[in-house]
Amino acid sequence: MTYAGYFLIAKPMLQEPTFRHTVIFLMAHSAEGAFGLVVNRPTESKGMPWPIFTGGPCPSPGLIMLHGHADWVEADEDNEEKVRPLAPGIFSGDAECLERAALESEEGGRLRFRVFSGYAGWGEGQLEGELASGAWSLKPANATLLFETPVREMWDRLSPPRIPEPSVN
């Protein structure tokens, strides 16, 4: 089974600082490995009209964009169909989408996008091992959860319910 299009939510037992309390959107997952973006770690961005998110510990050669604007997606030249979303209402963006976001941000439009520097990656079988050890939970992703959940609340809202600590009275 592929988990591309799912949120990977760090469970409380995952205390490693890079991934503690993170929510990752898995863009790709196969037998060869997995690729995703930490969607709840905004950083200060100088010279940009929006925050840049720390997408993960692996350096990316440029910025990566996710957006929720189907009208920004170009038709595929081979079959004239729209490019499929990565998850319901979530699309990957290119340089043209970044330019459009900058222009529309200046006009005060309601935009649904996030821009990332860096990514999270797993080699063959690595993510499956982490899932089996109980480090992560999974939830199908969609644009409403990604773009309308306040960033600071995302991990708490998507984490599975925790069993309260018993009282020793």
Overall domain count for the chain: 1
**pLDDT tens-digit map of 123-142:** 999 999 999 999 999 999 99
Domain CATH code at residue 17: 3.40.1740.10
Is 163 part of any domain?
no
Residue range of the domain that includes 68: 6-158
Nearest to 156 by CA among 145, 147, 165: 145
Candidate from 7-16, 68-77, 102-111, 153-162 with smallest mean pLDDT: 102-111
Q: Give the whole-angstrom CA distance, residue 51 versus residue 137.
A: 26
> Under 8 Å CB-to-CB from 91, ≥6 apart: which residues?
66, 67, 68, 69, 70, 72, 73, 83, 85
What pLDDT is stored for residue 82 in this prediction?
A: 56
What is the tens place of the pLDDT at every residue in 52-90?
Answer: 999 999 999 899 999 999 888 875 566 555 578 999 999
CA distances from 69 to 72, 74, 94, 106 (A): 6, 11, 12, 17
Residue 88 lies in a domain: yes
Residue 107 has pLDDT above 70, yes or no: no
53, 43 contact by CB (below 8 A): yes
CA distances from 85 to 14, 36, 71, 91, 112 (A): 30, 15, 12, 5, 14
- Let me know if residue 146 belongs to a domain: yes
